[in-house]
């Protein structure tokens, strides 16, 4: 963090970089942490007073009586190893059901005297032995208590054995179970994925254990700190291949099903000591493209070499992490597999990482630059977990933010190593920092860190997988790494990983090791401990806005809230803080100050109006005097400061005036994201005409620029980010009605319709072209897209077409498409919510999608249970909500469906209500002068 801020004094002096001590002040002291408030956090009743703006109370104060009514395992038994055998059937049984059978023996140690064995088991039919669901034996000389009774607890997902006498502390026991489960298409636990290849339907047995689904595969102590060694055996047809976390150490005919030469038994090497949520079991007829580092996919995808790119970046990224962590790759092999049905983007199972096809497969002829970047960053993210998360695992899910935030930060470092020309590290500003600022500025946000007792049941655990955990986690770790400097950060990290290898930690263990690294670095001094500094950012929600008055040199800070009225009833969690004036901050004449360069700090910056004017005038005369990131930062900060009523809306809009000269992607994208809010708020009002005219005027030069540098659209820009910027230029130019744009697009799509075997559209532009052509076309264009969608063999192509079909303006086509989303033979379950969101993004589709969802919430909630991202669905549909009427509808929706519930969308629904309220206010206050400004500026 050598450059938290710099000051331009005058031309002769150039830029003055301030000393580390002053920089540290901003990071370490800019938020005064209110300790009283923190202590009270989470106390029952605290939240109840303000239920509309706080997340739902994380725990019920009710303390269950019986140990099996607790969601957390008792601490009396500790597993050491499991022998698990699984046999998935890829053909339906006589009932038409897909099932798997298996048996498991777990060796555990008793560490506290108990006459109860409580182990997770969910949706498994267990074989009984003399009336009990398991057999218990002892290892060594321990006498073995007999089982008095056994039963299943559905709510807490346990198998419970009551023993006649107690287990002896220190002794080892073995619990044996046999079970039958359904190999359902629910994307959880051991499940099946189906696809059609060469006209034949094929079935894959695969798994997703995170967070709480290993217990749906075999009875196990299913908590991340219950690490054990797993000896896995998979029984399968000889025409298929079985994969698991470890290397396979031999396949043989099955002695159990002897007589059937078709059946194989594959045995895997024992795993390292690991958590259950990282297990993976897969049976398929897939092929792979190499030896110990393998990419697996459907046969046709491998034959088309769609796995080659993934393989080519995996090696370099693994090398990068070995060097960065100063620790060798902990396993003997690395498998990565692309699955037709997969709920998340990817899952970091140790040694056998699972992906959606779009996140692993890449076709140089058919995929876009964006597809390629996604493959690189997702691989980089998952490989980062092989050490951070898998080798060393957080004790419990409350610390998920550290695991995910960490991987979301270092994924940029790994990807940058594999693709050094992309400048990908800059993109964390758009994809994480600015993205999470938007969420973390709401009063309904929550702190990164939660206490262990606040996160118990599976729904609470899955709510942890949110933007705050991933993106704020990434942003504050990046800040810390740049603050401590990367070598010191990496040194602490390496010591942390080596100390806790194969074991579990809490987040403060990392701070301790970083602190040690600081202390062991000669000459390094930080004003507070890592622990104290990071508490400011992890224990309280939100972030500050730092205000610099360049007339006096004074710096102040306060909690930044998008809606400044949203906290009136509650004590602020941030103390307002004034700093002594800094001489370096006092400027006059033409000089300007710009703070938080690189956006390393997790805060926004405001200035006095004189300094803003000087920055705006610099942008209009010589924007390249500021770095690309800083240009984007000025835009994003002003737009958000205006939303929070700290500066005027006009001042924010003025930052877009220089864009007619801007050719770089990141500032443009930042502006378009912010103007998107204006489009959403006003595209149903009279403001839209003037807005469109202004944006058309601003984007036109960019459109012409790309027309020139691509020789009339016949070439592809060479720079990675130029390729993205071209997509924005074409998309917005067509949307705003720039001359020649729509005709160009229609002619490309028309050519493709005339010759479906030859698609003349460059992959980068396909999304934009498909969407525009379908928007300006009719049923013929739509039906053609549907046929191409059904025929697509590359997942990313299918996903582009799926998005584009939502662009039509014909209500009947949109309604028909919405119906398709609940028919798994038309739209895969994993894609249903995003498809509905795409429809809602369309101005014509929004009311249709909203009616569709509220009319059928009960059904959708059941249909999508476990696989739908309900929170994204609610966010997507309510994005445009900005009238009192819509707010009432939303509240009614909440009331009427309380009995159904909202699952993972509970918090999102509260946020939607808060955001709609803020939108109403904003539109009322801003409509008139926004209209006036756009009207004047578009002349």
Residues in contact with ligand NAG by the rule CB under 6 A: 83, 99, 105, 125, 174, 180-182, 231, 326, 491, 494, 502-503, 711-712, 756-757, 791, 793
CA dihedral (689, 694, 699, 701) in degrees, to 10, reads 130
Window contacting Zn ion (CB under 5 A); options: 354-362, 394-402, 404-412, 441-449:
404-412
Window contacting Zn ion (CB under 5 A); options: 131-139, 210-218, 359-367, 398-406:
398-406
Give whichever of 339 and 890 is closer to Zn ion, judged by the CB atom.
339
| Minimum distance from residue 410 beta carbon to Zn ion (Å) | 11
Give whichever of 188 and 597 is closer to ligand NAG, judged by the CB atom.
188
The strand pairing partners of 137, in sequence order, are 174
| CA–CA distance, 594 with 5 (Å, rounded to integer) | 6
| Distance in Å from the first CA to the final CA of the chain | 44
Residue count, binding to Zn ion (CB under 5 A): 2
Q: Whose structure tokens read 């998309």?
A: 731
Window contacting Zn ion (CB under 5 A); options: 126-134, 353-361, 406-414, 473-481:
406-414
Residue 92 contact, options Zn ion, ligand NAG, none, Cβ 5-8 Å cut-off depending on partner type:
none
Give 899's Cβ-side CA count (13 Å radius). 3
Copy the structure tokens of residue 640: 């958000």
Residue 407 contact, options Zn ion, ligand NAG, none, Cβ 5-8 Å cut-off depending on partner type:
Zn ion
Residue 712 contact, options ligand NAG, Zn ion, none, Cβ 5-8 Å cut-off depending on partner type:
ligand NAG
Give whichever of 105 and 142 is closer to ligand NAG, judged by the CB atom.
105
Residue 485 contact, options Zn ion, ligand NAG, none, Cβ 5-8 Å cut-off depending on partner type:
none
DSSP-derived secondary structure letter, 852 = H
| Minimum distance from residue 744 beta carbon to ligand NAG (Å) | 11
| CA–CA distance, 807 with 835 (Å, rounded to integer) | 11
Write out the binding residues for Zn(2+). Answer: 381, 385, 404
3-state secondary structure 560-610: CCCCHHHHCCCCCCEECEECCCCHHHCCCCCCEEEECHHHCCCCEEEECHH
Give whichever of 474 and 741 is closer to Zn ion, judged by the CB atom.
474
3-state secondary structure 18-35: CCHHHHHHHHHHCCEECH
Give whichever of 84 and 618 is closer to ligand NAG, judged by the CB atom.
84
| Minimum distance from residue 389 beta carbon to Zn ion (Å) | 7
List the 293-297 sheet strands across, edge first: 287-288, 293-297, 334-339, 352-356, 346-347
| Minimum distance from residue 642 beta carbon to ligand NAG (Å) | 40
Write out the binding residues. Answer: 381, 385, 404
Window contacting Zn ion (CB under 5 A); options: 164-172, 401-409, 440-448, 833-841:
401-409
The strand pairing partners of 355, in sequence order, are 338, 346
The strand pairing partners of 334, in sequence order, are 293
Backbone angles phi, psi at 258, to 5 degrees: -50, 150
Is position 407 an interface residue for Zn ion (rule: CB under 5 A)?
yes
Q: Could you say which of 223, 357, 382, 482 is catalytic?
A: 382
| Minimum distance from residue 123 beta carbon to ligand NAG (Å) | 8
Classify the C-alpha dihedral 106-110-112-116 as positive or negative.
positive
Q: How far apart, in Å, are the Cα atoms of 360 and each of 308, 341, 355?
A: 10, 13, 6
The answer to whether the beta carbons of residues 379 and 489 sit under 8 Å apart is no
| Minimum distance from residue 141 beta carbon to Zn ion (Å) | 45
Residue 400: Cβ within 10 Å count: 27
Catalytic residue check, 382: yes
Give the containing element (helix H, strand E) for 404: helix 400-418
Residue 105 contact, options Zn ion, ligand NAG, none, Cβ 5-8 Å cut-off depending on partner type:
ligand NAG
Classify the C-alpha dihedral 142-146-151-155 as positive or negative.
negative
CB burial of residue 441 (10 Å; 0-12, 13-18, 19+):
buried
- Residues contacting 867, CB < 8 A, separation 6+: 186, 187, 188, 343, 829, 830
The answer to whether the beta carbons of residues 806 and 839 sit under 8 Å apart is yes
CA 874 centroid distance within chain: 16
Give whichever of 224 and 845 is closer to ligand NAG, judged by the CB atom.
224
Window contacting Zn ion (CB under 5 A); options: 138-146, 407-415, 702-710, 893-901:
407-415
Give whichever of 407 and 541 is closer to Zn ion, judged by the CB atom.
407
Residue 792 contact, options Zn ion, ligand NAG, none, Cβ 5-8 Å cut-off depending on partner type:
none
Classify the C-alpha dihedral 69-71-75-77 as positive or negative.
positive
Give whichever of 227 and 631 is closer to ligand NAG, judged by the CB atom.
227
| CA–CA distance, 510 with 504 (Å, rounded to integer) | 11
Residue 83 contact, options ligand NAG, Zn ion, none, Cβ 5-8 Å cut-off depending on partner type:
ligand NAG
| Minimum distance from residue 83 beta carbon to ligand NAG (Å) | 4
| Minimum distance from residue 386 beta carbon to Zn ion (Å) | 11
Residue 125 contact, options ligand NAG, Zn ion, none, Cβ 5-8 Å cut-off depending on partner type:
ligand NAG
Instruction: Provide the binding-site residues for Zn ion, judged by CB under 5 A.
Output: 404, 407
Residues with a catalytic annotation lie at 382
């Amino acid at each position: 963090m050598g450059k938290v801020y710099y000051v331009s004094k005058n031309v002769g002096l150039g830029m003055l970089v301030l000393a580390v001590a002053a920089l540290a002040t901003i990071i370490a002291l800019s938020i005064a942490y209110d300790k009283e408030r923190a202590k009270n956090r989470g106390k029952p009743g605290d939240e109840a007073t303000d239920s509309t703006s706080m997340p739902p109370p994380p725990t019920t104060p009710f303390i269950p009586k019986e140990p099996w009514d607790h969601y957390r395992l008792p601490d009396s038994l500790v597993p050491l190893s499991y022998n698990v055998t699984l046999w998935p059937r890829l053909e339906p049984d006589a009932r038409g059901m897909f099932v798997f059978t298996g048996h498991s023996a777990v060796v555990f140690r008793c560490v506290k005297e108990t006459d109860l064995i409580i182990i997770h088991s969910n949706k498994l039919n267990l074989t009984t032995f003399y009336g009990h669901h398991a057999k218990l034996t002892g290892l060594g000389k321990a006498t073995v208590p007999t089982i008095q009774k056994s039963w299943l607890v559905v709510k807490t997902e346990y198998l419970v054995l009551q023993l006649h006498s107690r287990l002896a502390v220190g002794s080892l026991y073995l619990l044996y179970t046999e079970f039958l489960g359904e190999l359902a298409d629910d994307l959880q636990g051991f499940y099946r994925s189906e696809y059609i290849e060469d006209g034949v339907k094929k079935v894959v047995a695969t798994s997703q254990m995170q967070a709480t689904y290993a217990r749906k595969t075999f009875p196990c102590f299913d908590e991340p700190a219950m690490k054990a060694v797993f000896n896995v055996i998979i029984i399968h047809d000889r025409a298929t291949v079985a994969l698991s976390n470890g290397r396979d150490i031999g396949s043989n005919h099955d002695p159990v099903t002897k007589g059937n030469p078709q059946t194989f038994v594959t045995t895997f090497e024992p795993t390292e000591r690991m958590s259950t949520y990282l297990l993976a079991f897969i049976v398929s007829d897939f092929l792979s493209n190499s030896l110990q580092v393998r990419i697996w996919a459907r046969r046709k995808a491998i034959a088309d070499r769609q796995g080659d790119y993934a393989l080519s970046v995996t090696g370099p990224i693994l090398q990068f992490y070995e060097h960065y962590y100063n620790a060798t790759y902990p396993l003997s092999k690395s498998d990565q597999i692309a699955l037709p049905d997969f709920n998340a983007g990817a899952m970091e199972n140790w040694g056998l990482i699972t992906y959606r096809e779009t996140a692993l497969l890449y076709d140089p002829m058919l995929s876009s630059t964006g597809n390629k970047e996604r493959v690189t960053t997702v691989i980089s993210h998952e490989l980062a977990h092989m050490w951070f998360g898998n080798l060393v695992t957080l004790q419990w899910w409350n610390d998920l933010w550290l695991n995910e935030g960490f991987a979301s930060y270092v994924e940029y470092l790994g990807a940058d190593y594999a693709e050094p020309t992309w400048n990908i590290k800059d993109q964390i500003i758009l994809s994480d920092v600015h993205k999470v600022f938007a969420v973390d500025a709401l009063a309904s946000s929550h702190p990164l860190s939660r206490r262990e007792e606040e996160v118990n049941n599976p729904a609470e655990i899955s709510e942890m997988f949110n933007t705050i955990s991933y993106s704020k986690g990434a942003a504050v770790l990046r800040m810390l790494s740049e603050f401590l400097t990367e070598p010191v950060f990496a040194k602490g990290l390496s010591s942390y990983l080596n100390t806790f290898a194969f074991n579990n930690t809490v987040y403060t263990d990392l701070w301790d090791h970083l602190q040690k690294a600081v202390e062991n670095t000669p000459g390094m001094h930080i004003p507070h401990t890592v622990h104290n500094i990071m508490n400011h950012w992890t224990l309280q929600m939100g972030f500050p806005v730092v205000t610099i008055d360049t007339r006096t040199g004074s710096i102040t800070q306060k909690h930044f809230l998008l809606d400044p009225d949203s906290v009136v009833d509650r004590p602020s969690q941030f103390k307002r803080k004034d700093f002594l004036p800094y001489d370096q901050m006092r400027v006059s004449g033409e000089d300007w100050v710009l703070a938080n360069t690189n956006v390393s700090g997790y805060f926004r910056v405001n200035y006095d109006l004189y300094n803003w004017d000087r920055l705006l005038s610099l942008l209009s005369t010589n924007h390249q005097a500021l770095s690309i990131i800083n240009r984007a930062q000025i835009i994003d900060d002003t737009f958000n400061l205006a939303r929070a009523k700290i500066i005027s809306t006009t001042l924010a809009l003025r930052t877009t005036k220089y864009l007619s000269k801007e050719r770089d992607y990141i500032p443009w994208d930042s502006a378009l994201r912010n103007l998107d809010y204006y489009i959403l708020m006003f595209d149903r009002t009279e403001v839209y005409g003037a807005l469109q005219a202004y944006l058309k005027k601003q984007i036109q030069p960019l459109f012409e620029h790309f027309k020139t540098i691509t020789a009339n659209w016949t070439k592809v820009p060479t720079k990675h980010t130029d390729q993205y910027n071209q997509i924005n230029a074409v998309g917005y130019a067509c949307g705003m009605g720039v001359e020649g744009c729509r005709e160009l697009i229609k002619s490309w799509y028309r050519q493709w319709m005339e010759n479906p075997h030859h698609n003349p559209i460059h992959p980068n532009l396909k999304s934009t072209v498909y969407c525009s052509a379908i928007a300006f076309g009719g049923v013929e264009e739509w039906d053609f897209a549907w046929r191409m969608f059904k025929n697509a063999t590359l997942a990313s192509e299918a996903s582009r077409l799926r998005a584009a079909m939502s662009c039509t303006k014909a209500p009947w086509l949109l309604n028909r498409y919405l119906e398709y989303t609940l028919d798994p033979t038309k739209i895969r379950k994993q894609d249903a919510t995003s498809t509905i969101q795409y429809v809602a993004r369309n101005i014509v589709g929004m009311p249709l999608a909203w009616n569709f969802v509220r009319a059928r919430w009960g059904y959708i909630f059941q249909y999508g249970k476990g696989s739908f991202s309900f929170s994204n669905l609610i966010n997507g549909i309510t994005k445009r909500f900005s009238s009192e009427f819509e707010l009432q509808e939303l509240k009614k929706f909440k009331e009427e469906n309380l009995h159904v519930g909202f699952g993972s969308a509970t918090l999102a629904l509260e946020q939607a209500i808060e955001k709609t309220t803020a939108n109403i206010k904003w539109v009322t206050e801003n409509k008139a002068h926004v209209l006036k400004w756009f009207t004047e500026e578009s002349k």
